[in-house]
Structures are given as C-alpha cells and as structure tokens.
Amino acid sequence: MKVGAAVGCFTHPHYEPPYEEAVKTIGELGFDGIELIAYTAEDLNEYYTDERCRELDRMIKGYNMELSEFILYAHAVEDLLDNDDKKRDRALDFFERGLETAAKLGTDTINVVSNWPKELRAPVPYLPSSIHPYAPGFELFEPKHMIEMPPNFDAGGVWERYVESLSKAVELCEKYKIRFALEGHANVVIGTTDGMLRAFDRISSPYFGTNFDAAWQSMQREYLPWSVYKLREKIFHVHLRDTDGLLCYSYPVGLGIIDWNGFVRALKETGYQGFLSMELGGLKRPEKYVKDSLEYIRRILKEEEADE
C-alpha cells in the first residue's frame, strides 16, 4: 500500500485553491501520492485550466508522486438529488467535466461524498457534521440532537432518485475508464458500509466502488476491519483520520482509538493495494501532525508486513 495526503491538509480556508503550495509541502514530506479537489463549480471551470492541469501534473510527478484521486465536493453536484430533471442533467454535466479534468490530471479515480436531501436542515451548514448537540459549529445550544425534516419525508423516493442519478454517473465513468469512489458520511443517502453494499447490488459495475473514510465510518459506530471484510474489492481509495470516538473525528493518525493494525491487516488480507491518504484539514500545526501521521502509518505497515 502507498501513503498519500489530500491538499486540504494544507489549505486555508479549507479546500480553497490555489493548491501549488500544498503540492510542494506534501511532496517535500515524502508522500507517495496526493489528492486534488474541485471545491466549487467555479474552481473546476476557472482554476483547472488546461495549462494549470499540465503544471500540476508536472509538479506532482516532479516529487515522484501520483494523483491518487480527484475529488468533486458534494455541494458542487448536490442537484443529483433534485426532482427537476434539468437540474439533475446539469449536475451530471458537471460530473462529466470533473471526469475530463481527472483524465487531464492523470488519475483513474474520482471521488464524491454521497449527497443528502437539500430539504433537510441542521444547525450547521454541512449536514453530515450534525451528530450531537455539541457538534463543532453549533452557535446556540439545543439539548436535543435534531435535524429538521419535511412531513411525511419520502426517504424511499430519495433513494430511488439517487440510485438513478448514480447509475448515469457510473455510465459516464465507464465511458472515461475512470473509477467512481463514492464516499460515505453521516446523514447522507448512502453513508454506511451496508448502504454501500445495497447500492452496489443496484449498480453492478467494476467502475463503481467506495472511498473508505476511517473517521466517518467510525462516526457511524462501525468496527473498521469488519467493514473492510464486507466491502473487499469495492474499496477503491482510503482516507485516514483518527478519532476519540465521541465528538472529535479529526485527530492525527495514532492519537485516537482506531485500531490501525487491525485496519491495515484487514486491507492486506482483502487484497487492497491502493492509497492510504491523510485527510487532516484544520490543524493548527499541520506539517507536524501530518508528518507524525505519515511516520505512524508507515510503521504500522512495516509491522503488518513483518507479521506475514
């Protein structure tokens, strides 16, 4: 397995371009790979020009790295869930432009976090983060954990509409020969391991799998090795963060409760050979903690290789 890092580890505000300095930092730290992201539709159209794609590709290869995946931020394709077919078609057009950009940048994988219905409301703008009344970002305290939902919420209709949109997105991936790694978060349409398996039953394609995010799956009270054994070859890419198992899911790797030896062992036993990629945004001392995380996970990889 190879170890990478997302440019979001070193961008502030979170995820916003430019990314050249982040590429330099990640390269100098000695990572094997890097992730790039289109945070907004404007970024995809204005930042990722042909010239800049060539320059980013040159920089990445200059540090002997690979682009492990290209990410489209969930908000940029939120209309995949819209009832209006024209809006859904525009979201699919944007997804296809993302595939074109991924191809220019030289990666074989595109990542999108599973969408959630726009009609749901929480005290924080990023619905997946609404996990507790004390969750970071809540301005006013409410003793109950609440998400506002419309009356008689048609959850089944949301599922069917989303599967239809994802099916069309997967057809585009097959056209471009680029894998679609859907990422599960809390409070989204397809967030859990079992939700992913249900989606894979509906959309059977070697180009459709998941980006397994250790912190977000832990947040949903999954035991990570068990989840890995369930998903097996459908894991296309992996995100690494640690957690206290309570409210903080952004710990540097090794500083929380995740059993990283068990996680890596499960990945090895199921044949995973892709990237373990750090996603550690918002840290006060990012270079220290990203470097510490890199050293920690490489030590775990060596320990598991020695035990074979």
Q: How many helices (H) and strands (E) does the chain have?
A: 10, 8
Query: Six-digit token pair at 94?
Result: 């944007």
Whether the CA torsion 80, 84, 89, 94 is positive or negative: it is: negative
CATH assignment of 2-306, given 3.40.50.150, 3.40.50.2000, 3.40.50.2300, 3.20.20.150? 3.20.20.150
Looking at residue 12, its pLDDT comes to: 79
Looking at residue 308, its pLDDT comes to: 66
Domain ranges of the chain: 2-306
Looking at residue 268, its pLDDT comes to: 97
Low-confidence ranges of the chain (pLDDT < 50): none
What would the DSSP string read from start to end of 168-222? HHHHHHHHHT-EEEEE--TTSSS-SHHHHHHHHHHS--TTEEEEEEHHHHHHTT-
Looking at residue 64, its pLDDT comes to: 97
CA distance linking residue 296 with residue 308, whole number of Å: 19
Do residues 17 and 40 touch, judged by C-beta distance below 8 A? no
Helix (H, G, I), strand (E, B) or coil at 109: strand
Looking at residue 213, its pLDDT comes to: 97
Helix (H, G, I), strand (E, B) or coil at 82: coil
Looking at residue 305, its pLDDT comes to: 86
